């Protein structure tokens, strides 16, 4: 972090079942282990029915509120392509956007009431200078388990945070049962490389 007193804000956004809350738990643990104060807030409306899920993670020397003000978030990690568009009002102009190319159609699209914004990533790249798009699901499959897509996205995010990789790896080891550690570490590394 450049300014010692600056509070950084990350917004995780996606759809229920994508592992957003697990990812935000892991990153909070990483941030605490790195010696920062951290606050988290999460919203999971109709998450079990494929509804939106968000988690605000804010960290710094001292953090007083878990929620970021609109226009102040430095990093958006979008687990689903369309969800990246829903929260643009929360981002700073120079925000970093990490977006998973996965498409999960909401009920309005499935019923034909609304079109799916297939050009979401092109729109982001036209309007923001730091957009990283990756197919986290495909990378998770290569790591050995499709359910590790959230950890792939954490790997991509770790490239944009000034926290030692060994802290990330130690927290990942503690966050999963022993039989899932190797696969999650592989997924994390794939996100770093992507």
Instruction: CATH number of the domain at 20, please.
Output: 3.40.920.10
Average confidence (pLDDT) over 60-70: 93
Is 86 a domain residue?
A: yes
pLDDT interval class at 2 (50, 70, 90): very low
Is 167 a domain residue?
A: no
Of the chain, the percentage scoring pLDDT greater than 70 comes to: 94
CA distance 97 to 74: 9
Q: Are strands 37-44 and 91-100 parallel, antiparallel or unpaired?
A: unpaired
Is 49 a domain residue?
A: yes
CA distance 96 to 133: 11
On whether the pTM is more than 0.95, the answer is no
pLDDT interval class at 183 (50, 70, 90): very high
Token look-up 């990812």 returns: 23
| Nearest in space to 82 (alpha carbons), one of 107, 55, 61 | 107
* pLDDT tens digits, 11-53: 999 998 899 999 999 999 999 999 999 999 988 665 555 678 9
* pLDDT tens digits, 97-133: 999 999 998 888 889 998 999 999 999 999 999 999 9
What's the mean pLDDT when you consider all of the chain?
93
As a 3-state breakdown, the chain gives helix, strand, coil percent values, each rounded to 5, of 45, 25, 35
* pLDDT tens digits, 137-152: 999 999 999 999 999 9
**What are the structure tokens assigned to 36, written together?**
């920062």
Token look-up 């804000």 returns: 9
The strand pairing partners of 7, in sequence order, are: none
Is 182 a domain residue?
A: no
Cβ atoms of 103 and 116 within 8 Å: the answer is: yes
- How high is the pLDDT of residue 1? 40
The dihedral of CA 24, 27, 33, 36: what is its sign? negative
How many structural domains comprise the chain? 1
State the residue range of the domain holding 34. Answer: 8-136
């Amino acid at each position: 972090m450049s300014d010692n007193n600056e509070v950084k804000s990350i917004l995780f956004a996606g759809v229920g079942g994508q592992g957003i809350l697990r990812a935000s738990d892991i990153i909070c643990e990483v941030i605490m282990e790195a010696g920062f104060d951290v606050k988290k807030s999460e919203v999971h409306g109709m998450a079990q029915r494929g509804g939106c899920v968000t988690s605000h993670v804010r960290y710094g020397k001292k953090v007083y509120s878990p929620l970021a003000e609109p226009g102040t978030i430095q990093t958006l990690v979008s687990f689903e392509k369309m969800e990246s568009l829903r929260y643009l009002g929360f981002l700073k102009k120079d925000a970093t956007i990490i977006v998973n190319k996965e498409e999960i159609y909401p009920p309005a699209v499935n019923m034909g009431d609304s079109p799916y914004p297939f050009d979401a990533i092109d729109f982001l790249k036209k309007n923001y200078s730091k957009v990283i798009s990756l197919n986290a699901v495909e990378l998770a499959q290569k790591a050995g388990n499709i359910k590790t897509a959230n950890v792939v996205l954490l790997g991509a995010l770790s490239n944009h945070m000034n926290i030692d990789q060994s802290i990330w790896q130690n927290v990942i080891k503690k966050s999963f049962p022993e039989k899932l550690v190797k696969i999650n570490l592989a997924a994390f590394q794939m996100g770093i490389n992507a």
